[in-house]
Structure 1
Amino acid sequence: MAKARSIEEQVEDIAKKQLDDIGYFTKTEDINSEIDNALMAGPSKSGGSGRNFPDIKLLIDFGDLNKIPVMIEVKGSKGKLIKTDKDGGIENKKKDMTPNFSNIQGYAVNGAVHYAETIISFSKSFKEVIAIGINGYQREGEGIVTEYGVYYLSSENLGIPKKIADYSDLSFLNEENLDDLKSKIENIGLSEDEIEAKAFEYENQIETKLKALNQVMQDDLQVSVGSRVEIVAGLIMAGLGVKDVISPLQITELKGEKGSKTHDGCVIINKIDSFLEERKLPVEKKDMIINDLSRVFIYSKLWEPKNGESKLKRIYIRVYEDIIPIFNTARHLDFTGKLFNVLNEWVDIPDSDKNDVVLTPRYITQLMAKLALVNKDSYVWDYATGSAGFLISSMKLMIQDAQERIKSKAELDKKVGQIKSKQLLGIEKRSDIYMLAVLNMILMGDGSSNILHKDSLKYRGIYEQGTEKDTKFPANVFLLNPPYSTEGKGFIFVKKALNSMTSGRAVVLIQENAGGGYGLPYTKEILEKNTLVASVKLADIFKGKAAVQTAIYVFDVGIPHNTKKIVKFIDFTNDGYLRLNKKKSNQSRNLRDTGNAIEKYEEVANLVLFGASYLNLLDKTEYIEDTISLNGDDWTFSQHVIHDSKPDLSDFEKCIGNFLSWKINQMIMGKIIKQKVDISRLTAQENEAIKAISTDNLKYCDVEVKKLFEVKPTKTYGLTNPDLYRIKGTTPVLSNASVNNGIGGYNGMDTNEKGGILTFSDTTIGAETIFYQPFDFIGYSHVQGMYPLDEEKWTEDSLLYFVVALKKASGDQFDFNNKFTRQIVNKIKVKLPINNKGEIDFVMMENLVRAIKKDSLKGIV
C-alpha cells in the first residue's frame, strides 16, 4: 500500500486563513530581531547549527505591555500531531536527556515546543511562549480533518510545556478571546513531581555541559584547576548582560588582539565590571571580585592568541552556546554550586582547605528549608554560605508563600523585593566561593546585597549596607553546612549563630558523630538555650566528594532543652536514591530515583514537622521518638535504637568457639606452647548454667564498663610496620583487625603488655574488634586495653563472658564515621548475671563459659 501523501501545505493554508484578521509572519519573515536572533542561535530542529524556521509566527499582545510569541508548526499526515512519553509529556528528550530530533522534526507539537524552548533559552526579553502544533489529513467522505495541540511554556514554570486547552481552530487567538486565554495561562500550575523532574533535567544538562567544558580545559587547553571556577563564573557574568543597558558579550568581540588594553582578557573584564556596576553591587564587593578575576583574565596570559584565537575565546564559545542558554530557563537552581562541584571533582587537591568545601545538593537544601519552617516573613542566614544554595532554596519558599498569601500585585512586588534585598544573609570566608554566592544571587534576581565576604566567627550579626546598615539582622532561621574540620566538627559556627538569635528555628547539616560526642563542648552548651527537635541520619549524599556520614539536626531557638521533650530520630539512609561515583557520567547516571525518593523526602519533612502519623514509605524501624540528656552526646539515631543487650546461648557459642579455634590454631602453628584441653563431662553447676541461660531464668544488672575496667591505649613501640616486623619471632603484635583475635603478626621483640585483659580498636567496626588476650603481647596504635579494676575477681572464663556481653551491648551502631572510642565504651552498660545477694555472679559466668568450652572442644578435637 502506497504511503499517504502529506497535505502539509494545504493545512498551513487553512491555518493562515484563520489568522487573517489577527496578522501573522510566514516562515521566512522576520518577526522581531531578538526572536529572530534566538531562533538563529539555538540548534535547529534537525540538530544542526542552521536557523529554525517555524511555519507561522505571531506576537500576541495582552494589553499589559506583555507580548507573548506564538510559534506554530504544521504537519500533514495522520498521526503526526504529537509524540508524548508514558506520562503524557512532550517527548523531546531521549532517555539520556539528549534532544530527540526525530520527534522534534516529525511531529507538529514537538516542533513548536522546540521553537518555544529556543526562544526562552536564547532571548532576554521573551520568557513566555505559546507553542501550537497543527496537523491535518484526508478522511474519506469528510475531506481534510485538522487537529490542534496548544501548549504554554515559561521560564517561571521551568520551561515545562503545559497544555492550555483543547481547541478545534485558532479562534482562541482572536482579540475578543484573549482575556479567556490569559486566564487559562495564569491558572496553569505545576505539580511538585513536575517541578522536581524538570529541575533534575536542567541539573543534568548543566552537569553534562560543564563536564564537557571541564574536560576541554584540562586536556586541550591545560587550564589549571584552581582557575577554572573563576574563569567560567566570570564568563557567565560577561555573557549575561543587563537588559536595555549592557549587551551580552558577543563571541565576535574577542578578536585575539595583543594590546595591553584591548586583548581578550581586558574585553572580558570590562564587560564584567559593567555588569556588576549595573547590578548595583557595592563598590568594595565589585572591586574585590574584579581583583580576583583579574588574576585569571589578565595575569594568567590565557588571553594570548594562538593562530589568532585565545584560550579564553575557545572557552567562551562553549559557555555562550552551552551554559548560558540553560541558565536562561533554570535560574531557580543553585547554578554555581553545580559549577563548583563539577570543576573541582577532576583533580584531587591534597593538604588543602579546599578538601573541606563540599556544596550541599539541592534536594537537601530544599528539605532543610522546609524543616526550618521558612515563610514570607523569615529572615534567613547562613554562616558558611558556599554558593548560596540554602539561601536560594529559602528564597523560593519565601516568594511562594508570599504569592499564596498576598493578593495585591503591588504589595506582592514590594514584598518580593524586600525578601531579596533584606531577608537573606550569607557569610563566606573564601573569596572564590564568595564570588560564586554573589553570582548565584545575582542570577536569582537579587543584588547580592547581603552576601558578605567575612569570617563568620568574627561577624557581628548586623547589616553592612543599605538603609539598615549597622542595625541587627533579625535572623529567625539559621541554615548551615559548616566546614567539618573546625572545632566541634563545625558546631562552633552553630553556637555562634544561635547566641545571636532570640527565637526561630535552626537546621544544620553536619557530620553525624558531632551529635554523638565529637561536637562537645558546643553541643552541650547549645542545649542550654535551644531545644533539639529532630535528628535525621542521611544517606551518602556526598558520595565521591567526602567520606562522611552526615545528619541533619533541627533546633527550636531560644527555648532551653527539657529532658522530657520528645525528640524525633529518623534513619534516612534509604532515601530512594541510588548513588554512583563515575566522574565522567552525568547526574542522570550517578543519582537515580530508584525508590520514591521525592515522596520520601516529603515524608521526612512531615515526620519532623507533624509526627508519626505521617509514617508511610519509611519502615517503623526507621523512626524513633525518644528523649535525650543535657550532655550533648546522644543525638545520633543509632544511640536510640532499642536492641536486645542480653546475650543468649548462641552468642556465647559463636564467640567462645571462635576463640578456641584461634587458640588451637596457634598451637598447631607453634606460636604458643601446646596445652591440655578439657573435654570431660559437664558438672552439675555447668549444666545448671547452660539451663539458666537457655531458659532465661537469670536475673541481671546493668553495669557501666568504667566501673569494672580502666580503658586506656595499649603501649606501642612507635615503629612503622616494616620496622616492627623486621625481627622474626613468636611475640604477638596486636592490630586494628577484627580477625585472628586482633593479632596482626609476630616478631622477636619483648612484649610490653601483660595478657589477661580485653582489647578493642577505636578506628574501625567497633564491637567486632573486642577480644580477650590470654598471652602477653605488643600493643598497637589505636588498640585500646581494658584492664580489670579488681584483678582477683576476673578469670579467663569470666572475661570471655564479658567479651560476649559487651559485644551484645554495643550492637552494630559503630562504623568508620561513628567510631568505637574508649569514651563511648566507658559509658556502655553491660548486662551481667547477679546472685541472690544482688552481686555480679562470677561463678555462674565461669560455669557457663567452661560448659561451652567443653562442648566446643569436643567438636574441634
Structure 2
Amino acid sequence: MANEDIIKTWVQDRLKETSSGYSIKQGNLSKEGAREWMPALYEAMIHASKSQNNERGSADFTYIAHGLEENQDYLIIIETKPDVSNLINIQDGRLLMDPKSTKEYAVNGAVWYGKSIQKETQAFPRIFALGVAGNYTRQKISAYYVNETGGIIDVPDTEAFAEFSDSQIDEYYRVNVQHKTPKSELRAEQLADYSEKLHNDIRSYTSLKSEEKAPLVAAILLAIHSKNLSLNMLNGSLSYHNNDGVLIFNAIQDYLDQRKREEPDFNDEKIGVIMSEFAFIKTTKPLYTPVNDLGNHSPLYQFTSELFQVYQSVKIGDDADLLGDFYSEFVKYGGTDGSVLGIVLTPKHITGLMSDLIEVGKDDYLLDPTTGSAAFLVAGMNRMIKQIPKDEHYERTFRDIVANRLHGVEMQRSIYSVASSNMILRGDGKSNLSYGKFQDFKLKSQITGQEPQGTMYARADSFTKVLMNPPYSQGKKAPEIMFIKHALELMSKGGKLAVIVPISVFVSGGKEVTATKFKEFKEWLLTNHTVEAIITMNLQTFYPTATQTVIAIIRAWEPQEKKKTKLVNFIDDGYSVVPKKGLIPNGSQSAKRQKLIDVVVNGDTATPDFMMPIQLTVDNEWVHNAHYTNPDKPSDADFLQAVADFVAFKQDMILHGKDYLFNDQSR
C-alpha cells in the first residue's frame, strides 16, 4: 500500500465511525471525484487544479454535512499527505497559496479547492477545508472555513471528524465561524452577566466588604431554598428585630434547625459557622434600608427578587457550581484574583474531568482537602448519584452518599459558608465539611492523645478517592507537596488521588521548596505510591490567571517499582479564550476529553506527541515536554518564522536594556 493510501484508509475508517457514517459504500462520501455523486461540485472544480494551471481539480475526499439543528448544508473538503511535515505551510501567520504550497501541503491544497469552488459557484456557501497528514498510527488534522467570498477563517484542530458530522457541525460553525457562545455555556454567560450586575448593585447600594459578597448571595439562596421566605415578607422595616436582613437570617436558622430535628444524620456542626458568617445581614443598615431608586424597597428585597429566578437553575445532576461561579465573579469584580490567599477556584469542566479520571463511584469515600466552593464535591456527588440503580434501594443509597461519603476541609470562613450552602442547595446538608487547616485534619486511627487544640478528625475510617486543588503561592507556610503528602496519608491502599497544581510543583517542588526537600518528596512518593499519570494542561485553564498547571493521578500505598507513568500533553483541550467571554469550549472539547480518558483510564495507546510512558526516578523530569522531541522536519516557513521570532525577541530585549544577553561574556 502506497504511503498516501495509508492515511486515506485512516480517513475513511474515521469518517465511517462518525454518527453520520460517511462512506463511499453508503453513497454519502466521494473519493477523488464528484462527477456522478454531485455534478454541481464537479463543475465547480473545473479550474481548481492545485498546480494553478487552470485545469480541473479533484479533492481526495468530499462530502456534505447536513446540519440537524439549523437545517444548513456544509461542504467538507479533505486533502491528505503521508508526512506530518506536509500538513500546512504558513508564513508570518498567513496561509500560503502559491502553487508549491497548494500542491505539497494538505491544508493549503484543501483551502485552494474551497476558494476555487466559491469563485465558480454559489451552490456551497459554507465550506470547511481540512488537511490530514501522517500515517495510520500518527496523524494531524488542521482546518479552515472558506466563506462565500473566498475569505478564510482558521478553526480549531480536531482529533478526527466528529465535529464535521451532521449532529455537531452546526454548533462547531456557530462557535468558531460566527463566534457565538457555545450552547453549553449560555447559562454560565447569563450567570456571569447577572453576577456583574449584582456586584455593581451591591457596590452602589451597600458598603459590604469583598469577603461578605458571596456569603450574602449564599444566604439569600438558602433562605429561598428554605421555603420559609417569600418576597412580600420583606417590607423594608428599619427595626433591629424584624428588618429584611433579620427575616432572611431567621428563615435560614429555622430551616437548618428543622433539618437537624428531622434528620438524625444531618451534620449540625457547620450550622454555627454558617450562621456567624451570615450574621452581618442583620446589622448592615444599607442592606435593609429602603431606597427610592428601588421603588422604596430595600437592596435585600431587590437582590432576593432577582435571586428567586437564579434559584431555579440549581439542581442535582448538574456539574455547574452556581455559588462558585458567583464567588469567582465577585472576586474578579472586587479587584483581586484571590492570589494573596492562594484562592483559585477550579473551573467546572476540570472538576468533572478529574472526577472521571479517578472514576469516583457510589461506594467511594471522597475527600476534598481544600474545599473552596465545594465544586469537586458537587462533581463527585453528581457522578455518584448517576450510578445508583433506579430500584427500591435508591433512596437508601442516596442518603448514604450524602450523609457518609462526601468530606471536605476549608480554612477560610467565608468560603466555608459558601461551600456548606452550595452542598445544601444540591440536596445535601449532611456532607462532612470541617472548618480549619487541612494539616490539622486526621483519621481517628492516627490519634495519639498528644494532638494540639484544633485537631479535626475525619468521620470516615479512610478515603478511597481524593480530588484537590491546593492553595497556590503559599510558600513556606504550606507548599503544595505537603497537601499532597498529607492527603495520601489519609487514603486507603489502592485509592486514587487527582490533584491539579502549577507545573512547577512537579518540576522543582514549587515556591520556596528546596531541591533536597523536593527530592525527598519524590523518593517518598515513588517508594510508597504509584504516580499513574501527569497531565500537562491548557495554559489558559485558570484564565485570567496565567498559571501553567498539571493534573497528577496517584494510586495510594502501592509502590511505583517498575511501573511506568503516563506523561500526557493535554495543552490542546478544546478550550480557548474569547475576548469578553473568557475560557469557553471551541467545539472540539468532547472528542479531546474522551481521548484523554481513553488513554489515562481505559489504557488506550497514543502517539508520543500526546502520551509517553516513562519510568520516573527521583532524578529525571516528570512532565511530558521534557521527554518528547518533535520528529517532524520543519518547513521553510517554520524556519523563517523562527528567525523572525528571534530577531523580534532580541530587539525587544535590547530596547529594555538587556543587550548583555547577547554578548559573548555574561554580565
TM-score, with structure 2 as normaliser? 0.62
CA distance in 2, matches of 1:364, 1:740: 36
- What is the aligned partner in structure 1 of residue 348 from structure 2? 362
Alpha-carbon separation, structure 2, partners of 1:88 and 1:572: 30
- In structure 2, the residue matched to 1:560 is 559
1:426 maps onto 2:408 in alignment: yes
Distance 1:274 1:492, change over 3 A: same
SS of residue paired to 2:618: coil
Provide the residue aligned with 1:327 in structure 2.
314
Maintained 8 Å contact 2:502/2:550? yes
- For 1:606, the aligned partner's letter is D
Q: Could you say if the C-alpha distance between residues 88 and 309 of structure 1 is closer, same or farther in structure 2, counting changes exceeding 3 Å?
A: same
CA RMSD for the aligned pairs? 4.1
* d(CA) in 2 for partners of 1:484, 1:630: 23
Q: Is the 8 A contact 1:213 1:318 kept in 2?
A: no
CA contact (8 A) 2:541 2:583 kept: no
Structure 1 Cα separation of the partners of residues 579 and 443 of structure 2: 39
For structure 1, the 5+ residue unaligned runs are 1-84, 91-190, 242-246, 583-588, 645-650, 662-736, 747-758, 761-768, 780-861
Counterparts of 1:742 and 1:518 in 2: how far apart (Å)? 33
Partner of 1:549: 548
Q: Which amino acid aligns with 2:524?
A: E
3-state SS of the aligned residue for 1:377? coil
The letter of the residue matching 2:330 is: L
Percent sequence identity is 24
Q: Could you say which residue in structure 2 is the equivalent of 1:496?
A: 486
Decide whether aligned partners of structure 1 residues 199 and 372 sit closer, same or farther in structure 2, where only a CA change above 3 A counts. Answer: same
- Distance (Å, rounded) in 1 between the aligned partners of 2:318 and 2:612: 38
The 8 Å contact of residues 225 and 425 in structure 2, kept in 1 or not, is answered as no
Q: 1:472 to 1:229 in 2, by over 3 A?
A: closer
Q: Residue 262 of structure 1 is aligned with which of 242, 249, 257?
A: 242
Give the deviation of 1:627 after TM superposition. 1.9
Equivalent of 1:641, from 628, 633, 638?
A: 628
* Contact persistence 1:265–1:298 (CA under 8 A): yes
Larger Rg: 1
Corresponding residue SS for 2:407? strand
Question: Which residue in the other structure is 1:383 paired with?
Answer: 369
Question: TM-score, normalized by length of structure 1?
Answer: 0.49
Residue number among 203, 206, 209 corresponding to 2:188 in the alignment: 203
Q: Note if contact 2:316-2:426 (Cα within 8 Å) is conserved in structure 1.
A: no
Mapped to 2, the partners of 1:199 and 1:273 lie a distance apart of 36
Cα deviation, residue 540, structure 1: 3.1
1:530 aligns with 529
Alignment partner, residue 382 of structure 2: 396
> Could you tell me how far apart the structure 2 residues matched to 1:603 and 1:228 are?
40
Paired position in structure 2 for 1:517 = 508
In the superposition, relative to structure 1, how do residues 232 and 89 fare at CA in structure 2: closer, same or farther (>3 Å)? farther
Give the C-alpha shift of residue 428 in structure 1.
Answer: 0.6
Map 1:395-794 to 2 at 5 A. Answer: 395-403=381-389, 408-409=391-392, 411-462=393-444, 472-487=460-475, 489-503=479-493, 504-519=495-510, 520=518, 521-562=520-561, 564-580=562-578, 582=580, 589-613=581-605, 615=606, 621-631=609-619, 634-642=621-629, 738=650, 745=657, 771=662, 773-774=664-665, 779=667
Shift of 1:640: 1.4
Deviates more, 1:479-488 or 1:229-238: 479-488
Kindly indicate whether the alpha-carbon contact (under 8 Å) linking 2:185 and 2:584 is maintained by their aligned counterparts in 1.
no
| Structure-1 separation of matches of 2:69 and 2:316 | 22
CA positional deviation for 1:485: 1.6
Q: How does 1:82-161 map to 2 (within 5 A)?
A: 87=68
Q: Which residue of 1 aligns with 2:74?
A: none
Distance 1:654 1:439 in 2: 53
CA spacing shift, 1:89–1:529, aligned 2, 3 Å: farther
Q: What secondary structure does 1:483 align onto?
A: coil
The amino acid of 1:636's aligned partner reads V
One-letter code of the match for 2:307?
Answer: V
Using the TM superposition, give the Cα deviation of residue 448 of structure 1 relative to its aligned residue in structure 2, in angstroms.
3.4
Checking the alignment, whether the CA contact within 8 Å between 1:505 and 1:557 is kept in structure 2 is yes
Secondary structure of the residue aligned to 1:527 is helix
Aligned in 2, Cα 1:547/1:273: closer, same or farther, shift over 3 Å?
same
Task: Provide the aligned length of Structure 1 versus Structure 2.
Answer: 465
How far is 1:629 from its partner? Answer: 1.0
2:333 is aligned with 1:346 = yes
CA distance in 1, matches of 2:246, 2:391: 46
Task: Classify 1:372/1:629 alpha carbon distance in 2 versus 1 (closer, same or farther; 3 Å).
Answer: same
The one-letter code sitting in structure 2 at the alignment partner of 1:382 is D
User: What one-letter code is carried by the residue in structure 2 that aligns with 1:380?
Assistant: L
Deviation of 1:306 after TM superposition, in Å, equals: 3.4
- Asked whether the 8 Å contact 1:491–1:523 carries over to 2, the reply is no
Q: 1:596/1:508 Cα in 2 relative to 1: closer, same or farther (>3 Å)? A: same
Q: What stretches of structure 2 of length at least 5 have no aligned partner?
A: 1-65, 72-167, 172-180, 261-265, 447-455, 511-517, 632-637
User: Does the CA-based 8 Å contact 1:489-1:511 persist in structure 2?
Assistant: no
Does the CA-based 8 Å contact 1:199-1:330 persist in structure 2? no
Q: What whole-Å deviation, never above 9, does each CA across 1:347-366 have from its counterpart, x for those lacking one?
A: 2238x665521111111111
- Is the CA contact (8 Å cut-off) linking 1:255 and 1:309 kept in structure 2? yes
Letter in 2 for 1:474: S
* Shift, 1:389, TM fit: 1.1
Contact persistence 2:540–2:576 (CA under 8 A): no
* SS of equivalent residue, structure 2 residue 442: coil
1:356–1:576 CA distance, 2 compared to 1 (3 A)? same
The Cα shift of 1:441 comes to 1.1
CA contact (8 A) 2:182 2:584 kept: no
Q: How far does residue 625 in structure 1 lie from its aligned partner after superposition?
A: 2.1
Q: Could you tell me which amino acid in structure 2 is paired with residue 537 of structure 1?
A: T
Q: 1:349·1:355 contact (CA, 8 Å) conserved in 2?
A: no
In structure 1, how many angstroms separate the alpha carbons of the residues matched to 2:213 and 2:68? 39
